[in-house]
Amino acid sequence: MKVLSMILAGFVVGYAISDIRPSYSLLSRTAEFGSYWAIVNGLTVVALAACAAAVALARVSARAVLVVAIAAVLVIVFYTVGMVTGVLGQWVVAVGAGALLGAAAVLAGLDRGAQSSLAVAVLGAGLLGGALDAMVQKNDGPVFVWDVVGAEDDVRPQRAIVMVIVASVAAIALFLAHRNQVLQPHEPRKILLVGLPLPIAAGVLSWVAAGHEARSVEWLGALAGMTVLAVLAAFVLPRRDGRLLLALVAVSAAALGSFGFAAGDGAQLALSVGLLIVGAGIGHRWPQLYIGLGGLLVIAVASGIEGYSDLPTGSKFALPLVAAYVLVSVLATSPGSLALSLPALFMMTLPVSVFSASYEPSLSMNESVISRTSEPDHLVLSVAGLVVVAVVTVACAVLMRRPAVVSGTS
C-alpha cells in the first residue's frame, strides 16, 4: 500500500507538471521555441515549494504531513476541473504540486521502494502526460463542458476525468498507508541552501538560452553554466545525496540528441511506460550507477550518429529504460534531496529553437514542403549531451568517496 500510494501521488505530481508546460524542454519529442513560458507557468514554483515543504513538514507529525498531502491533491483537482482559473490557477497548481511532492518525499522516508515508486511515477507522468492527453482526446461524439467558475476553454474534460479518478484513489491510498506512520528525523536546513537558489539560477540560464537570435553560443554557454550549477549543488548536499541530482541532469543531457521518449502514438506510449517500469525493476534489483551512466553515454553517442548520418538508432526507445534504471540505482536518499532533485529533470533542461528551415513549392504548385531543423543542430546537441554525461559521471565518482547515508539519520 505504501508503494501504491507513492505511485499514485507521483502520478498526480507528474501529470500536474505535464500541464505546466515542460513540453517546451528537450525532453519532449516536439520541442518548441518559447520554453521561458515554462518558468512563468510554474516549474520554478513547483521546485521551490517542494524543497520548502519537505524541510518544513519533516518537523511536524506524520498525520499533519498526511493532511497537507491530501489537501494538495484536492488543490490540484480543483485547478484541473476549472474551479481556479487564470494566473491564480497556475500559481495554485504549481504550489499544490510542489507541496504534494515534498509531503510524499517525507512520507516515503528512507524506504528505497517507496522513493523509487514516487520518482519513476513523477518522471513518467511528467514526460508522458501530454501524450496521454492526446491519446484520450476524442474528436467525435458528444461534446460537453463543466459547469464551473471561469472560462470553459480552461477545462479539458478528458484530463479532468483522469485526474479526478487518480487523485481520489491517491488520497485514499495515502491515508490508508501512512495514517499510523512515524517519521524519520527531520531534514537539515542546509537543504534550503541548495533547493531555493537552484531553481532560480536554472530559470535564469533557461531564459538566457531562449532569449537570443544567434543562439548557438549562448545556448552552449547556458548548458555549461547549468552543468556547473548542478555539480556545485550536488557537492553542497550532504553525503552522497547529490548523486540523484547529477543522475537526473545526465538523463536530461542524454536526451538532447534523441529529443525525449517515444510517444508518437498509443503503442509507443505504452512501450515507453513499459520500459520505464522494466528499467526501474532492474535498477531496484541490481543497482549499478556506473552501468546506468554508461548506458546514457551510449545513448548520447547513438544520438550523435543519428544526427550526423540520419541513420535511425532507436535511442529514444532505449532512453526510458536507462533513465529509470539510473534513477532507481542512486536511491535511497534523504527526503529533502529527493524533493529538490526530482523537479530538476524538467527545470534544468534547456529549450531548443525548432523552426521551419525551408519552404519550397512542389511541382504541382498546390503543395509546399516545410522542413524543421533546430538551433543548435542535432549533432551539436548530441555532442554537448555526451560531454555533460561524461562530466556528471566523473562528479558521481568523486561523490562516491563520501560516506554513505546511514539509515535513520538525516
Please check the confidence at residue 17 and state whether its pLDDT lies above 60. Answer: yes
**Helical (H) or strand (E) element with 370:** strand 368-375
For the stretch 268-301, pLDDT in tens is 888 989 999 999 999 999 999 999 999 999 988 8
**Mean of pLDDT values over 199-220:** 79
pLDDT of residue 281: 95
Whole-number mean pLDDT of the chain? 81
pLDDT of residue 365: 46
Residues 6+ apart with CB under 8 A from 200: 44, 48
Please check the confidence at residue 145 and state whether its pLDDT lies above 60. Answer: no
pLDDT category at 23 given cuts 50, 70, 90 is low
Please check the confidence at residue 136 and state whether its pLDDT lies above 70. Answer: yes
Bridge-partner residues for 360, per DSSP? 369
CA distance 249 to 245: 6
**Mean of pLDDT values over 153-164:** 75
pLDDT of residue 151: 44
For the stretch 95-116, pLDDT in tens is 999 999 999 999 998 899 999 9
Please check the confidence at residue 129 and state whether its pLDDT lies above 50. Answer: yes
| CA-to-CA separations, 387 to 245, 256, 343, in angstroms, rounded | 17, 11, 22
Please provide the DSSP assignment of 204-240 as one string. HHHHHHHS-SSHHHHHHHHHHHHHHHHHHHHHHSSTT
Highest mean pLDDT out of 80-94, 267-281, 392-406: 267-281
Domain parsing of the chain, residue ranges = 2-399
Residues 6+ apart with CB under 8 A from 71: 99
End-to-end alpha-carbon separation of the chain, Å? 25
**Mean of pLDDT values over 205-229:** 82
pLDDT category at 327 given cuts 50, 70, 90 is very high
Residues 6+ apart with CB under 8 A from 182: 62
Residues 6+ apart with CB under 8 A from 289: 243, 247, 326, 329, 330, 396
pLDDT category at 326 given cuts 50, 70, 90 is very high
CA distance 156 to 135: 13
CA atoms within 13 A on the CB side of 101: 36
Q: Which three cell numbers stand for residue 103?
A: 509531503
2-399 CATH fold: Growth Hormone; Chain: A; (1.20.1250)
**Across the chain, which distance is largest between two alpha carbons, in Å?**
73
Please check the confidence at residue 160 and state whether its pLDDT lies above 70. Answer: yes
Please check the confidence at residue 157 and state whether its pLDDT lies above 80. Answer: no
| CA-to-CA separations, 190 to 66, 230, 237, 247, 290, in angstroms, rounded | 24, 16, 8, 21, 28
Bridge-partner residues for 374, per DSSP? 354
Residues 6+ apart with CB under 8 A from 363: none
Please provide the DSSP assignment of 17-81 as one string. HHTS-GGGSTTSTT--S-THHHHHTTHHHHHHHHHHHHHHHTTS-HHHHHHHHHHHHHHHHHHHT
Burial class (CB within 10 angstroms; exposed 0-12, middle 13-18, buried 19+) of 4 = middle
